[in-house]
Amino acid sequence: MAVGIVIVSHSARLAEGVAELAGQMSMGEVTIAVAGGTDDGSIGTSIDKVTAALQKAANPEGTLVLLDLGSAVMVAEMALEMLDPQERERVLISTAPLVEGAVLAAVEASAGSTLQEVAEAANNGHEMPKGKHR
């Protein structure tokens, strides 16, 4: 079983798009759960959505959480506090860039890597070039 991934974003469409891209790159071998937008469909974050996504992606190998910005971090941390201590130990919140990190994490997870290896791969997203700098 592969490490699970949770995408937390202020936008449901953004979270779903990132999950779609990462899922394609992992050939569907990785559970990628999303928590995007508020409960009423507005832009924002929802602890209930994050908690549900954590439950969906949970597995014995662990879960990596990738976030967009701001309150997504706070809401993810609050959702983690609601987990029992054994479950909490198997979840890492990544500081990786959302899109690049999610794609690299999904590819690494699909190879059967450990949670730490998946987190390190996601962090390599910081180094991905996006064109020439002048």
Q: What does the pLDDT look like over 22-73, one tens digit per residue?
A: 999 999 899 999 999 999 999 999 999 999 999 999 999 999 999 999 899 9
126 is a catalytic site residue: no
Question: Has residue 12 been placed in a domain?
Answer: yes
Burial class from Cβ neighbours inside 10 Å (0-12, 13-18, 19+) for residue 44 reads middle
Catalytic position from the list 4, 6, 10, 19: 10
Question: Has residue 40 been placed in a domain?
Answer: yes
Report the domain count for the chain: 1
CB atoms within 10 A of CB 132: 5
Range of the domain at 13: 6-62+85-90
Whole-number Å distance between alpha carbons of 9 and 6: 10
pLDDT value of residue 1: 82
Question: Has residue 14 been placed in a domain?
Answer: yes
Whole-number Å distance between alpha carbons of 12 and 53: 13
Question: Has residue 99 been placed in a domain?
Answer: no
Q: pLDDT-derived band of residue 134, with 50, 70 and 90 as boundaries?
A: low
